[in-house]
Amino acid sequence: MRDTDVTRGGPASQQGMRRANLALVLGHVAREPRSRAELAAATGLTRAAVSSLAEELLNTGLLTESGPAAPSGKVGRPGTALALDPQGPGGIGAEVGVDHLAACVVDLRGEVRSWHRMEIRNRGRLPAAVLADLAELVRRAAGEAALHPAGLALAVPGLVGAAEGVVERASNLGWEGVPAAAELRSSLRATGAHELSALAIDVDNDANLGGLAELWLGGRAEDFLHVSAEAGIGAAVVVGGRLLRGARGYAGELGHVPVRPDGPPCSCGARGCLEQYAGERAVLRAAGLAGAPGDWVALLAGRAVAGDEKVRAALAGAGQMLAVAVAGAVNLLDPAEVVLGGGYAELAPWLLPAMRAELAARVAVRPWSQEWLTASRFGRRGPLLGAAVGVVRAVLADPGRYAQARD
Nearer to Zn ion, 130 or 318 (CB): 318
In our burial notation (b when 16+ CB lie closer than 10 A, e otherwise), range 300-322 reads bbebbeeebeebbebbbbbbbbb
* Site stretch for Zn ion (CB under 5 A), options 70-78, 256-264, 277-285, 336-344: 256-264
Check residue 273 for interaction with Zn ion (CB under 5 A): yes
The nearer residue to Zn ion, 113 or 256, going by C-beta atoms, is 256
Beta-bridge mates of residue 93:
104, 153
Listed in sequence order, the residues at least 6 apart from 183 whose beta carbon sits closer than 8 Å to its beta carbon are: 127, 128, 131
Tell me the C-alpha to C-alpha distance, in Å, between residue 176 and each of 26, 170, 281. 41, 7, 21
98 part of the interface to Zn ion, by CB under 5 A: no
Residue 266 as a binder of Zn ion (CB under 5 A): the answer is yes
Residues 256, 303, 312, 393: which binds Zn ion (CB under 5 A)? Answer: 256
Q: How far is the CB of 273 from Zn ion (least distance, A)?
A: 3
Contact residues for 285 (Cβ-Cβ < 8 A; gap 6+): none
To the nearest whole angstrom, how small is the minimum distance from the Cβ of residue 281 to Zn ion? 12
Cβ count within 10 A of residue 190: 12
Shortest gap between Cβ of 261 and Zn ion (angstroms)?
Answer: 12
Q: Are 225 and 243 in contact (CB under 8 A)?
A: no
Q: How many residues bind Zn ion (CB under 5 A)?
A: 5
User: Least separation, in Å, of the C-beta of 157 and Zn ion?
Assistant: 15
268 binds Zn ion (CB under 5 A): yes
- For Zn ion, which is the closer residue by CB, 270 or 313? 270
How far apart are alpha carbons 335 and 338 in whole angstroms? Answer: 7
Closest to Zn ion by CB, 120 vs 268, is 268
Task: Provide the minimum distance between the beta carbon of 225 and Zn ion in the complex, in angstroms, as a whole number.
Answer: 19
Contact 110, 217 (CB under 8 A): yes
Question: What residues line the site for Zn ion (CB under 5 A)?
Answer: 256, 266, 268, 270, 273
